Chains A and B, each alone.
Chain A
Amino acid sequence: MKAMRDVWGDTLVALGETNPNLLVLDADLANSTKADKFAKAHPDRFLQMGIAEQNLVGVAVGLASVGFVPWLSSFAVFFTHRAVDPIRMLVAQTHANVKIGAAYAGIMTGLTGKTHQDIEDLAIMRAMPDMTVLAPADRTECEAAIRWATDYLGPVYLRLARDVCPDVFDSQYHFTPGKTYLLKEGKDVLLVSTGPQSARCKEAAELLEEQGVSAAVLHVPFIKPFNVQELVQVCEPFKLVVTVEEHNVMGGLGALVAEILSAHSPRKVIRFGVEDRWGESAPNDYLLDLFQLSPTRLSGRVKQVVQGTNE
């Protein structure tokens, strides 16, 4: 099994073989984000920019203006918080062809604690006009998303997990912009998730099956732009929709789903995620339990709300 950061590094190395315009710019985290693989394979197209994320973004915009495709390497928090101003004005507002590889997004950041856990990035990046926001679930989708983003002409924010993410897709997978993916059928409740949390939702749904609850799971890799009609159709048969994300419950996927359904197909939407609080340094399993995002915790919570809705 391959960690998502290794998928990112390896895919860039492979793309670098055929695309001479691909550059990787690093804010001194290459051996964490795995951009160091690209540095080794294509040293002339790896540009170290130092611990200076705002300048990193600005330089990328200049490089994009002369036809390069710059991929940026840093942690999600430093892009969406420290460098949000140049991302907004220089990248999104000019539709610059800059690709943001937002590593270590979410709560599982390798024992670094709340300073490094980005639980607001989807809210921030989703609110930015012209930005494409992607959150792939597993290695297959991650590679496809990187390939698509590299060819797409415009700004992309790619939300990446640090560690190994369970496979949800096989070699038959086809990446289609804006598409959502039904990972499991069900009839009692629809779980909507994004990124690697979708795999944990699928596992939770399998646990629920054993307890007599039939949960469907919908995976949303494209947070923006978003296919409204598709979501409305998928939600149609369900009285209850539960959104689950490794992100604050405010402003992210849950908010997106609630916004769409309230306008187009009102029904009960419950949002699971980080409950508007900061995280802490701890191993992944501890954090998933703490935020009740592990398959076991999740199945218990979903069962509760399904029963509550049916009473």
Chain B
Amino acid sequence: MSNGEDYSELVALARRGRWLAISTVAKSGAGHVGGPFSAMDLMIALYFRVLRVDPQNPQWPARDRFILSKGHSSIGLYVVMALRGFLPIEELKTFDKGNSRLQGHPDVTKLPGLDTSTGSLGQGLSVGVGMALGAHLRGEKFHTFVIIGDGELQEGMIWEALHIAPRYKLGNLTAILDWNGLQQFGWVLAINEEHRGDRRDPWSGIELRGIFERLGWRCLEINGHDYSQIIPALEAAKASGNSDQPTMILAHTVKGKGVHFTEGKHEWHSKVATKEELKIIAEELGIKEEAAV
């Protein structure tokens, strides 16, 4: 499936984003890689093509809202926000350091441009429901997007939100499932069992799309790394803002996507790249302007 448009600019931004994320984590000595990489293309697409936001006026009341419910992928969000102009690229080096706006998990009280705090898993979609419901009550036209992880989908609170959103007919709400098939430790593969990663997909064998549809969500299923699928899906979701159904985009992704040795490996959930690894990563991502650490 391709719509014939040229997305090379977004592809290049995502490569740079992945480099900034993994090199920032390396500098800070801790952080997550796998999740930020799997959600990178989704967030690049949102911030550069879909979200109506203004980096110069981050509190603009009419802005579209975005919530990264899987808050441990914060570095991915900070990088995309930096590329979009919400903060200087230079500031990324303060990540996780004391007195930083870039906390280990997104902190709405510190960084303008964030729409809520996340970190304890499974909570972001509920806040998104509140924002979308608030827009309905106020007659405002903004759209609310929430990226949820397939790991945090194990949390009960998410299912409370999944139940209530269709009941309030929130066409102005879109959830995007970053279905990378891996969680932090997860379930070891059985002999001869094959999955996208080196561990068992938490939702393996479960027909999530049908479950969401029966709860009342309009579902779109895409490859979460292919812009010719991501952009049309996000645009279609946003275009149905006046409908009476929230949209769920099931984005099939690869944890650690973008670098051959981080892809599909659960250990890269949170791992610090060595200097040697960073050299290989820079080369693979085609990064020249920023020297490897």
Contacts and interface: CB of A to CB of B under 8 A. Distances in A.
Interface of A: 23, 45, 47, 49-50, 52, 54-55, 57-68, 85-86, 88-90, 93-95
Interface residues of B, number: 33
B29 interface: no
B148 interface: no
Interface stretch (B93-101, B131-139, B219-227, B254-262): B131-139
A94 B127 CA distance: 12
Nearest to A130: B109
Given A58-B130, A62-B126, A89 B119 contact: yes
Contacts of A61: 116, 126-127, 130
Interface string B23-57: 00000000000000000000000000000000000
B163 interface: yes
B130 A63 contact: yes
Per DSSP, chain A at the interface is helix
Contacts of A55: 126, 129, 157, 160-161, 163-164
B163 A50 contact: yes
Given A49-B164, A58-B127, A62-B127, A85 B134 contact: no
Contacts of B236: none
Top 6 closest A-B pairs, CB basis?
Answer: A62-B130, A58-B126, A55-B160, A66-B134, A52-B160, A59-B130
B57 to A, nearest CB: 16
B116 A85 contact: no
Nearest to A53: B160
A131 B117 CA distance: 16
A68 B160 contact: no
A85 B123 contact: yes
Given A86-B126, A89-B120, A94-B116, A54 B131 contact: no
Interface in B116-162: 116-120, 123-135, 137-138, 140, 144, 156-157, 160-161
A59 B129 contact: yes
B134 A65 contact: yes
B115 interface: yes
A117 B43 CA distance: 45
Contacts of A59: 126-127, 129-130, 133, 161, 164
